[in-house]
Amino acid sequence: MAYSRRRKPNAGRWELERERYQLPADLPPPTEGNVKAAGELAAKLLEKIGLKEKLWEQQLLDGWVETVGDAIARRARPGQVFRGVLTIYVSNAAWLNELSRYGKPEMLAKLQSKFGAKQITDLRFQPDPDLPTAPPQRKK
């Protein structure tokens, strides 16, 4: 007699769920093979309705500090991705120079390892357009 590792559904629980959700009596209990994670279903749904790119952008924002480190994350933020080139907005000229000259290879490698080399092929640094560019005026 062969030992089966497949679990059988709990009949009592199935009857309770059938009553609670008013399921038809002829509906068979679910099998373990039909169960899918909610995240897997959500990713497929977002792809189907054309929002997969937005999901990826949100994952980039959520993982930004972890990927680049706290010091860089306080002074730079991810922008848009166009044809694989990620624009990174930097808060001041000193950090812009530092990141574009010395930090780019390491940052690109970290981002590619986390999000894939096909998603991010290059980085482009530019001043943050949301920050004021003129120094504050002194009051007389």
H or E segment and range at residue 94: helix 93-98
The mean pLDDT value for 68-87 works out to 92
If you average pLDDT over residues 76-94, what whole number do you get?
A: 92
Instruction: Provide the CATH number for the domain formed by 52-127 in this structure.
Output: 3.30.300.20
Q: 127: buried, middle or exposed (CB in 10 Å: 19+, 13-18, 0-12)?
A: middle
> Could you say which DSSP state residue 126 is in?
E
d(CA 91, CA 129): 9
Q: For residue 25, what is the DSSP state?
A: T
C-beta of residue 86 within 8 angstroms of C-beta of residue 122: yes
Whether residue 105 has pLDDT greater than 90: yes
Confidence bin at 1 (pLDDT 50/70/90): very low
Of 127, 60, 130, the closest CA to residue 89 belongs to 127
pLDDT band at 135 (very low <50, low <70, confident <90, very high): low
The answer to whether the beta carbons of residues 113 and 68 sit under 8 Å apart is no
Mean pLDDT of 18-26: 82
Q: Are 108 and 120 a contacting pair, CB within 8 Å?
A: yes
Query: From CA 98, how far away is CA 102, in angstroms rounded?
Result: 6
In angstroms, rounded to a whole number, what is the distance separating the alpha carbons of residues 44 and 105? 33
Where does the chain have alpha helices with state H? 11-20, 38-48, 52-62, 64-68, 70-73, 93-98, 104-115
* Cα–Cα nearest to 86, from 54, 35, 123: 123
Domain boundaries, the chain: 52-127
